[in-house]
Amino acid sequence: MLGHLPYEEASKKDLILFSPGIYVHKDIYENLKEMQFMAAQRGISLQLLSGYRSINLQRDIFYENKSIRNQTAVERSWDSAPPGYSEHSTGYAIDVGDGNYPDTHFEVEFEQTPAFKWMKRFASKYHFVLSFPPNNKQGVTYEPWHWRFEGTVSALREFDAANKIIKFK
């Protein structure tokens, strides 16, 4: 829908608490923990801002932001996935920030931080890829903070349609 692809909601049994209030798919837990630890070893404050979101929470976010920003649903969908179309509902997607630069959280300026530069260089080692790079073929607004895990067969299956768009569009 408007550049976003449909995703099923992760089963509660597949989710694990990563940090206070933030759940992720159990398959990404160890990689995410190691990635955060290795970044810290290099002085990078890789802060997890968001993980799993239920479809109901995504609905609240989508419609609340739409009304706050006085946007149509189409306008809002360029910046936020409609309910049922968010990678976050899979538990495999994360939003990251730089703990030393909180003003850049959920902003394009995050790409100027040490955390983003570290992610760009090392995230693939931990099976994370940037979901919506600049000028992405899905047509979704660039989100330097939004990364997805593709380190298991189930995760690859989950993002198969998105990867086909990237490859063939």
Taking residues 126-153, report their average pLDDT.
Answer: 93
Per residue in 102-129, pLDDT tens? 999 999 999 999 999 999 999 999 999 9
pLDDT attached to residue 147: 98
Nearest one of 134, 145, 142 to 103, comparing CA atoms: 145
Q: Which of the residue ranges 24-33, 59-68, 160-169 has the most confident prediction, judged by mean pLDDT? A: 24-33
Per residue in 54-88, pLDDT tens? 999 988 887 775 455 666 666 666 667 778 889 99
Q: Which residues contact residue 5 at a Cβ distance below 8 angstroms, ignoring those fewer than 6 apart?
A: 85, 138, 161, 162, 165
pLDDT attached to residue 80: 75
pLDDT attached to residue 125: 99
Domain locations in the chain as residue ranges: 12-159
CATH of domain 12-159: 3.30.1380.10
- On the question of pLDDT at 6 being above 60, the answer is yes
pLDDT attached to residue 162: 74
